[in-house]
Copies of this chain bind each other. A is one copy, B any other.
């Protein structure tokens, strides 16, 4: 039926402020700790981030203004549509109504530029000339490349070596936006060289790439570092997704019973869900589900500990669910979900009982992705397929329970640069991996001796 499939917002309806969940948490999130075991002082982060982002990181203001210059760039693809997955509902014969935010319409194809743009902007205003960052599957590196280009900054991206080799398109994409993409570990940094000496054939990891990018930012006065997930200010910028979704659902008189997002570092999940978690804190009955791969089960199997965000231990200790910074996940295809840690705000939300977590195997996720493409048209990113698989589970449950539930999820990105993974799936070259207890124990040895939150 035409008239109930899509809700768009006029550009004048774009949210003018981000939502900061730190204002509403029943208990505050434990602070990051420095090498001395004491809470990190803002000045200590100044070699890495511009002060305005550090202020956002620790702010407890509920609403933070989005600068006009940032809004103008976000309008290149925002507000994104809220769409109803009508065809999928029909195929599943579910009474559930399934809505999704389509974040795949951004130029690099995912939600990532929602934070890349403000980060580039604040760095530019602060007088920074260059940004470094890391990227796994390449979504974040592409997004930051575009954002830097739009604000006239140079950009260097350390890309996990195995992805660099398997996904040359991402490197070409970054080049179109004028950025430099380096396979990590590289010989450009001490962190990289140390790892190459020990293991010249390493495939690299996100933790290693972060070490390289941070090291370069610390060493060069004109350079700062930019992170695509995990940190509070990154999640803050992503709340524009949920804020738009809320307005869009209000327009059609809907409110979700369940909100679902895939979670690697946690930013797209937080983006869609935090504005609704605010209502949950205020007493509203709503379920919020983070979905991670069974191969990298941070929220579902890792302890809540203080751990570094990178392999070399250059970052402060963050209070989070972590598999241990030396964790090397099995080679599943959702590169954006292969991080050892989880955003402190998301980890804290799980501890506080505000957020549920599920771990799914990749074959179920690919099956869900193909079902999606064959009903709703668009081909999802492998990361996004985790959210879709959980949506299908919930929709089937609703069918069994005969409940007219409203499901909202974040369609975090398209899979047009991940088609080789689909080919591998159809050619039955993919298999499910679950982390063994033995592997988990081993990787967790790296957090021994760290302080415990609370």
A48-95 contacts to B (CB < 8 Å): 68, 71-73, 75-77, 83, 86-87
**What CA separation (Å) do A379 and B416 show in the bound complex?**
13
* Interface residue stretch chosen among A169-177, A184-192, A393-401: A169-177
Closest to A169 in B: B419
Judge whether A176 and B68 touch: CB under 8 Å.
Answer: no
A276 CB to nearest chain B CB (Å): 24
> Which of chain B's residues have a CB closer than 8 A to the CB of A169?
416, 419-420
Q: Indicate whether A77 sits within 8 Å of B377 (C-beta atoms), given known contacts A150-B87, A176-B422.
A: yes
Point out which of A8, A14, A72, A377 has the most chain B C-beta atoms below 10 A from its C-beta.
A377
* Interface residue stretch chosen among A260-268, A328-336, A368-376: A368-376
> Which of chain B's residues have a CB closer than 8 A to the CB of A168?
420, 423
**What CA separation (Å) do A2 and B3 show in the bound complex?**
27
Closest to A415 in B: B176
The residue that A146 contacts in the complex, of B9, B86, B377, B420, with Cβ under 8 A, is B377
Interface digits, A140-152 against B, CB 8 Å rule (1 contact, 0 not)? Answer: 0000001001100
**What CA separation (Å) do A228 and B159 show in the bound complex?**
39
Q: Indicate whether A423 sits within 8 Å of B2 (C-beta atoms), given known contacts A9-B8, A76-B378.
A: no
**What CA separation (Å) do A208 and B31 show in the bound complex?**
66
Is there a chain B Cβ closer than 8 Å to A280's Cβ?
A: no
Q: How many of these chains are in the complex? A: 2
**What CA separation (Å) do A87 and B419 show in the bound complex?**
32
> Which of chain B's residues have a CB closer than 8 A to the CB of A76?
5, 83, 376-378
> Which of chain B's residues have a CB closer than 8 A to the CB of A124?
none
A375-407 contacts to B (CB < 8 Å): 375-379
Judge whether B9 and A72 touch: CB under 8 Å.
Answer: no
> Which of chain B's residues have a CB closer than 8 A to the CB of A177?
373-374
Judge whether A72 and B173 touch: CB under 8 Å.
Answer: no
Is there a chain B Cβ closer than 8 Å to A6's Cβ?
A: yes
Q: Indicate whether A5 sits within 8 Å of B11 (C-beta atoms), given known contacts A176-B419, A374-B149.
A: yes
Judge whether A72 and B2 touch: CB under 8 Å.
Answer: yes
> Which of chain B's residues have a CB closer than 8 A to the CB of A414?
107
Is there a chain B Cβ closer than 8 Å to A417's Cβ?
A: yes
> Which of chain B's residues have a CB closer than 8 A to the CB of A77?
377-378
> Which of chain B's residues have a CB closer than 8 A to the CB of A10?
8
> Which of chain B's residues have a CB closer than 8 A to the CB of A423?
168, 172, 175
Is there a chain B Cβ closer than 8 Å to A275's Cβ?
A: no
A263 CB to nearest chain B CB (Å): 24
Is there a chain B Cβ closer than 8 Å to A126's Cβ?
A: no
Closest to A421 in B: B172
A62 CB to nearest chain B CB (Å): 22
> Which of chain B's residues have a CB closer than 8 A to the CB of A8?
8-11
Judge whether A3 and B12 touch: CB under 8 Å.
Answer: yes
A362 CB to nearest chain B CB (Å): 16
Judge whether B426 and A173 touch: CB under 8 Å.
Answer: no
Judge whether A172 and B107 touch: CB under 8 Å.
Answer: no
Interface digits, A95-129 against B, CB 8 Å rule (1 contact, 0 not)? Answer: 00000000001110100000000000000000000
Closest to A68 in B: B2
> Which of chain B's residues have a CB closer than 8 A to the CB of A105?
105
Judge whether A419 and B6 touch: CB under 8 Å.
Answer: no
A343-379 contacts to B (CB < 8 Å): 370, 373-379
Judge whether A370 and B72 touch: CB under 8 Å.
Answer: no
Closest to A170 in B: B419
List 11 A-B residue pairs with CB atoms under 8 Å apart, sorted by A's residue number.
A1-B72, A2-B68, A2-B71, A5-B72, A8-B8, A77-B378, A107-B414, A150-B377, A172-B419, A172-B420, A176-B422
- The interface of chain A, by Cβ under 8 A from chain B, is 1-3, 5-6, 8-12, 14, 68, 71-73, 75-77, 83, 86-87, 105-107, 109, 146, 149-150, 168-169, 172-173, 175-178, 370, 373-379, 414, 416-417, 419-420, 422-423, 426
Q: Which 9 A-B pairs have the closest CB atoms?
A: A172-B419, A107-B377, A107-B378, A172-B423, A8-B8, A169-B419, A76-B377, A6-B11, A5-B75
